[in-house]
A and B are shown apart, each in its own frame.
Chain A
Amino acid sequence: MRSGIIAVLVGAMACHPANGGTVPAPQKVSVHEVLTSPSLVGKTVEVTGRCLGYSVPTIAKGSPPVTRSDWQLEDQGEAVWVTGRMTDGCTATTPAPAASTISALVAQDTLPGLGGQKPVARQYLVRK
C-alpha cells in the first residue's frame, strides 16, 4: 500500500516537474486509428467506443492479447482488443448499451501466422 501511494506521488512528480503546469491531455484517437497506427504504440490515448464483451460478435482481430477475459471496444464497425476492466454496463456476454470513452495505453503484439501465413503485428489497448 505504501509503495502504491508513493508511486502515485512519484508519478505526480514525474509528470509535473516544476512550478505547476499541466501534463498534456491524452491524445484522442479513434478505434480505427489505434488499429492502423503503429506510431501510437507506447502512447496513452483516449478512445471512444462500445464495449462488446468477449466474443459475440467477435470483430477484433486475433486472439485476446493478454488474458482470456480481454474484451472488444467497437466503433464504426471496427473493434480493438482491450485488456483491463470493462466499461459500465458491459459484461462478458452482454455488450454495453452505449459508447463510452476510455483512457488506455496503446500496445502491440504479434499475431501468430496460422497455416503458414506470416505473423503480423497488431495494436491493442491496455486500459488505465
Chain B
Amino acid sequence: MKALHRICVVAALATAAACGGGSNENGGGGGGGTREWTVMVYMAADNSLAVQGILDLDEMEDAGINDKVQVVAQAEFSPSVLDQQQCTAACFNRPNFNTFRYAITQAGGSARNGPDRGTVSEIGGGSNVDMTDPNTLKDFINWAKTNFPANHYLLVLWNHGGGYTGLIQDETSGGSGLMSLADLSAGLTGAGPIDVVDFDMCLMAGYETLAKINGLVNFAVLSEEVVPGEGNPYTSIIDGIQANPAQDARTLSGMIVDRFNASYQGSKASTTLSAYDLSGFAAFETALNSLAADLQAGLPGLGATISQSAGASQKYTIVELTDLVNFLDTLNTKVTGQAALQAKIAALRTAATATAFRINNRARTGVGQTQGGDVADVSRSTGLNIVLPSGTAPDILPQSGNGSLTAYQTLLPGKAWTTFLAAYAGGQATTPVTDQGDTRFEAYLVWDPAAIAQDADVDFWMLEPDGNIYVPAFGSVTPNGTMSNDSYGDQTNFEGYLSNRFVEKGDYLIFANLWRDPANFQPAYDLAYRYDQTAGFDLFFQGNGQPNPVLSLQTSWLNDPTPTLGEVIGGAYTDLQYVATQTFNAPPAPLARRGPTASTASLKTSGKGFTPAQIATLRRLVTIDRLGGAASPRRFTGLWQMPFTARGGR
C-alpha cells in the first residue's frame, strides 16, 4: 500500500526529477525552539532491505516538519541490491553509496526517492561504515543528541532482526554476520538516556533483548514475529508524535504499537508488536528467576512436561522462540496439583502482563495470506517470547553458531534462565528424527456414522515413541503431531492425527477404543490414512481386503487389573483394539499391522505411559460414562458414508 503510494509520487514527478542531483550537505540542525522529541533512525539498509529503506525515508519526509519534533537518520543502501533493479545511487538521490546522515528540515513531503527534504552529510570522511559496529551506533546517537538536542529521544533500529541471535546486517562493510545483542548493549552504553528504542525489525520481542538493553533505555517497542517488509508506518507514527509533542515516552511507545497495528488491518501478513516499560523489568526478571529455579529443580522429571508445553505454545519463525505467557498458561494446565509451582507460574504471569511492565500488545493474524500460502497464526502472542525449544526437531537449539546454547550462555551468563536452559536443553537427548518434507503421514479412525445417534463414543489412541499415549479428548498437540477434535464433542464419526514434518524416529502405534456404547451399537471401523496432503485417503482394512473390525464392550480392558500392551496388540480386549503401526525411519515405512507380540510393556509404564493415577481416572470416567441400556448389535459390512473421499485400494 505504501509502496503504491510511493510509485504514484515518483510517477508524478518523474519528468521534473531526474535521477541524481545533490542535497544540501551542511549537516547540523534545523527547526527552532526547545524540541520535545528527536527521532533518531539508524537505518542499516545495506542488505536485502535497501528498497524498503529508501521508501521508509520518503515516508518520514511525508510527515512534514514540526518545531517540536526532529527526525534525523543515518542510512546506507546496498549497491548490489539496487543494481538488481538497474539502479545507481542516483536512484535515491545520492552521488554514491557512502553512509550518510540526514536531518529532515523542509516541509512539503517527499518529492523524489531518497533524502530531498533536508540536510545531508557524509561521515567518516566519506566512506561506507560498518553499521554492525557498536561504535558506529554510539557515534550516531551522540551526533544526533549533540546536533538535535531534545527533551526526549526515540531511537529506531531499522533492519533485520533475529532475536537472541542478533540484529542488523551490513552487506558491504560487515559481511554476513549480525550485530550481537551484547554489541547492541555496548553501542547503547555511554550514549546517555534514550527514552524509547523501537526495533523496526523481526523477532526482537524477547526476554533476551530486554535483558540486554535494561538500564540503557527506558521503553522498548518490539515484535515477537517477523515483520512485513514495509515495517513501520513512518508517516503515521511521526504524525502521531507531531500531533502531541508533549506526550511522554510511555504514551509514545503505546502509540507506535497502535499505529503499526492499525496500518496493517486487512493485510495479508500477520503482525505482532508490543511495548515494554523497562522500569518493570526487574520485577519481571525476579519472577522469571524464581520460576526458572523451580523448573530446573524439577528436572529431569519435569523435562517432558516442559517440552510438551513449549511445543504446544505459540511459536515464531525462529522456532525456539516461545511466547512466554502462552507457555505459562500451557504449563499450568499440565502441573495441576503442584501448588508451589503453579504459584510461581502465576506470579510470573502477573509480572509479565503487569501494566507497569507491558504497556501495549497487539497481534493480528494476516488475512488471505500470499495467494494460498500458509498464514502465520500469531493469535496466542502476548508480547514477549523467550528461548525455550521443545526439543523435537526443528525446535531445538543449533549445535553451533549464534543460536547455540553456548552462544546463549555467553550472551546471558549467570542468569537463572540461562542456567535452567543449560540443564533443560543441554540435557535433552538428541532425538533422532526424520524429515517427511512437505508430505506428512496422516491417519483418521472412521466408523459407522450411525454410532453418533446411538451415543457411542469411539476414540483414536496414538502411542508415540516417547511411550506416551495421546488421545484427542485429552489434548490437541503431541510431540510429533496434531490431533483432531474429540469426535464425541463434535458429533462426528472420525478423529485422528496429522504428524509434524519432523517426527521422532520409531514406532507409532494406533489403537481404537470404545469409550462408551450405551445402546450396545458395536460400531465397525476402518483407518483412513495418507502420506500426501494433496492425495486421497486409503482405507487400511478394506484396502487390504480385510473385514472392518468391530468394537464392543464385551471384553473390556477396564476389567483387567493389569492390562499390558502385549495383551492389547494380541487382541485380548474388544473395547481397546490395536489397529496398525506406522514406523518412521527415513523415509517412513508403509503402514503395517503387526501380529500378536510378546510385548508385556504395560500401559501403566512408569514415567512415560499412563500413570497409575491416570489409569484410575480413566477407569472412573469410563465406568461412569458407560452407564446406559443395551440394544441389538448392528453390523455394517460395506463402506459407510465417509467424511471425505477415500481410495478403495492400495
Contact = CB atoms under 8 A, between A and B. Distances in A.
B80 A115 contact: no
Contact of A66 (B90, B228, B476): B228
Given A1-B476, A115-B90, A126-B371, A66 B269 contact: yes
B537 interface: yes
A62 B442 contact: no
A27 interface: no
A50 B616 CA distance: 53
A8 B202 contact: no
A62 B51 CA distance: 7
Contact of A56 (B169, B535, B536): B169
Interface string A77-117: 00000011100100111100000001101010011111111
A94 B404 CA distance: 14
Interface string B57-94: 00000000000000000000010111011110011110
Contact of A111 (B51, B403, B645): B51
A112 B533 contact: no
A102 to B, nearest CB: 7
A103 B435 CA distance: 14
B162 A92 contact: yes
A23 B535 CA distance: 6
Given A83-B370, A92-B162, A12 B47 contact: no
B371 A53 contact: no
Contact of B10 (A13, A58, A113): A113
B105 to A, nearest CB: 22
Nearest to A69: B226
B7 A9 contact: no
Contacts of B91: 114-115, 117
A5 interface: yes
Contact of A67 (B227, B398, B484, B645): B227
Interface in B77-122: 78, 80-82, 84-87, 90-93, 112-114
Contact of A20 (B11, B85, B647): B647
Interface string B1-38: 00110110011011001110000000000000000000
A32 interface: no
A67 B374 contact: no
A26 to B, nearest CB: 8
Contacts of A1: 476, 482-485
A4 B477 CA distance: 13
A107 B268 CA distance: 13
A22 interface: yes
Contact of B160 (A15, A54, A117, A119): A54
Contacts, number: 218
B47 A17 contact: no
A90 to B, nearest CB: 11
A20 to B, nearest CB: 4
Contact of A5 (B13, B438, B498): B498
A107 B51 CA distance: 19
B435 A88 contact: yes
A120 to B, nearest CB: 8
A21 B538 CA distance: 11
Contacts of A105: 370-373
Contacts of A49: none
A127 B7 CA distance: 28
Contacts of A110: 3-4, 7
B226 A53 contact: no
Interface residues of A, number: 64
B542 interface: no
A84 B84 CA distance: 22
A128 B373 CA distance: 6
Contacts of B85: 61-62, 111, 114, 117
Contacts of B14: 116
Contact of B227 (A68, A72, A85, A94): A68
Interface string A1-34: 1101100111111011111111100000000000
B338 interface: no
A2 B484 contact: yes
A114 B113 contact: yes
B534 to A, nearest CB: 5
A56 B370 contact: no
B401 interface: yes
A42 interface: yes
A48 interface: no
B323 to A, nearest CB: 17
A66 B229 contact: yes
B201 to A, nearest CB: 6
A57 B80 contact: yes
Interface in B194-217: 201-203
B176 to A, nearest CB: 4
B535 A16 contact: yes
B505 to A, nearest CB: 16
A55 B48 contact: yes
B490 interface: yes
A70 interface: yes
Nearest to A126: B373
Contact of B92 (A67, A115, A126): A115
Contact of A119 (B7, B93, B202): B7
Contacts of A73: none
Contacts of A37: none
Interface of A: 1-2, 4-5, 8-13, 15-23, 42, 44, 53-70, 72, 83-85, 88, 91-94, 102-103, 105, 107, 110-117, 119, 126-128
26 contacts: A1-B485, A2-B485, A4-B482, A12-B644, A16-B645, A19-B645, A55-B171, A56-B175, A58-B48, A58-B171, A59-B84, A62-B81, A63-B81, A64-B52, A66-B268, A67-B229, A69-B317, A72-B48, A88-B394, A91-B398, A91-B403, A112-B6, A114-B91, A126-B370, A127-B373, A128-B438
Closest 6 CB pairs of A and B: A115-B91, A126-B373, A56-B176, A16-B536, A55-B47, A115-B19
Given A115-B114, A128-B438, 10 more contacts: A9-B643, A16-B536, A55-B47, A68-B160, A68-B228, A84-B374, A91-B398, A107-B370, A114-B82, A117-B86
